[in-house]
Amino acid sequence: MKRTTWLIMVTSFLIVTLVPTAVAKPLNDVSGHWAERYIINLADTSVMGGYPDGSFRPEANVTREEFIKCLIVALKIPVCGAVEPSYDDVDNTSWSFPYIETAVASGILKPEESVNGMLKPGEPIPRVEVARLIVRALKLSVKSGYTGYDDGINIPPSYRGYVGIVKERSLMSGYPDGTFRPWNPVTRAEASVILVRLIYESGKGTGFVTICYDHSSESIFNNAFPLHQSYGYPGVNYILPSNVGNRGMMTIAQLKEMEQAGWETGSHSKNHLHFKDLRDREISQQLSQPKEWLQKNGLQYASFAYPFGFDTDPYPVVSEYYESAVKCFGNKINVPPINRFNLERIMLDSGLSNDELTDLLDQAVIKGGWVIFYTHSVAEAGQTPANHGINQQRLNYLFQEIKKRGLKVVTVSEGVSLKCF
């Protein structure tokens, strides 16, 4: 397979899939700012946008009600309907009333902690309160009262556990001198960083990854399979029947052994031809013959990888021949309900940098999305990979990064049954 253009990838850490604000203008006051990357990623969303004049005002303070709204929107918490006001100074005519009551209903805000029933919604929110709100919003458990900061003594004991946990999870950072400065107001730039980290933290463990191997190379059995086994990650083999059993290619017995270990076998077409150059009848042969061959040899035919991307939309013959798994694999066989922003398919070879690779995984975390990697062969550690291939070190790096993020590794069929977008 070749890489299709729509996959050309995301270079930024974060694109949040929330409704964009009405202000689409580029921001005019964040270029070169230390938090630029976070601000730009967040400003395209309804979590925290720019102002109608094109500014973002990164050094302005965030008020209590503004931060609470951002938190509710960032975590996509459904906003409550009408209720009795929980605070004396936020009634139901206030713009922030629904967000504040949603925060109360979700246990993020506790009216009993207020002084004289007041929230003071328009005042700048101090760092220590932000820490408490985000810990509650993420439902993280507070273990101890140790903050880890040099000025921990200045932090009221009831807040210390929250400050400790946001440090431990890298949700908020302290100052270079080792202090937390609990009562400092939070600027919009600082809030952007905190919200990006919060969105990331809330998505951990929800996305998943699939690793596919095309063309039946024996190196998959020899070099990739053992590494998959050591991590407990299944893989997917897409085979060209005419290759199986040839020199340097996998055998039927090897494919079966991998299936026993949870791998999936699928078809990579009969002759690896450009489907767009073929007639419907020829395509149907490309699809049906390997499927029959796989069945006859006692292998799965769980899904199908077309050899080259389609440049035009739905190809009826392809979707006619293959079932749900196929329909969701690769967005070009565009049978709803595929959401292409939640599914990325990309070649894992030397053309994909480590930064791009980790960005893809981060995207899967943030969106709860699905990344499908594919490659042709896996060389031994220390060896130069073949064209469109990788070596064991690269595969191990990928697995480490997947593990770090708590992403699930699934076969194509499992991915489809988990989430058909």
Question: Shortest Cβ distance from residue 1 to Zn ion (Å)?
Answer: 4
Residue whose C-alpha is closest to residue 212's, from 421, 419, 414, 7: 414
Cα separation, 366 vs 405, whole angstroms: 10
Tokens representing 65?
């009600």
The site string for Zn ion over 208-237 (x = CB under 5 A, - otherwise) reads ------x-----------------------
The answer to whether 344 contacts Zn ion (rule: CB under 5 A) is no
300 vs 377, beta carbon nearer Zn ion: 377
Q: Which residues contact 188 (CB under 8 A, 6 or more apart)?
A: 39, 48, 56, 57, 58, 59, 60, 61, 62
Taking contact as CB under 5 A, which single stretch among the options 116-124, 177-185, 207-215, 412-420 is the one that binds Zn ion? 207-215
Q: What is the CA radius of gyration of the chain?
A: 26
Total residues in contact with Zn ion, by rule CB under 5 A: 3
Question: Shortest Cβ distance from residue 330 to Zn ion (Å)?
Answer: 12
Question: Shortest Cβ distance from residue 315 to Zn ion (Å)?
Answer: 17
Applying the rule CB under 5 A, the residues between 291 and 310 that interact with Zn ion are 307
Question: Shortest Cβ distance from residue 278 to Zn ion (Å)?
Answer: 15
Cα separation, 182 vs 201, whole angstroms: 22
Taking contact as CB under 5 A, which single stretch among the options 1-9, 37-45, 69-77, 191-199 is the one that binds Zn ion? 1-9
3 vs 408, beta carbon nearer Zn ion: 3
Applying the rule CB under 5 A, the residues between 129 and 188 that interact with Zn ion are none
Tokens representing 148?
């880890």
From the list 1, 16, 198, 328, which residue makes contact with Zn ion (rule: CB under 5 A)?
A: 1
* Backbone dihedral angles phi then psi of residue 377, each to the nearest 5 degrees: -155, 160
Q: Which residues contact 182 (CB under 8 A, 6 or more apart)?
A: 126, 127, 128, 151, 154, 155, 156, 159, 163
Question: Shortest Cβ distance from residue 305 to Zn ion (Å)?
Answer: 7
Dihedral angle over CA of 286, 292, 293, 299, nearest 10: 120
Question: Shortest Cβ distance from residue 2 to Zn ion (Å)?
Answer: 8
The binding site for Zn ion (CB under 5 A) comprises 1, 214, 307
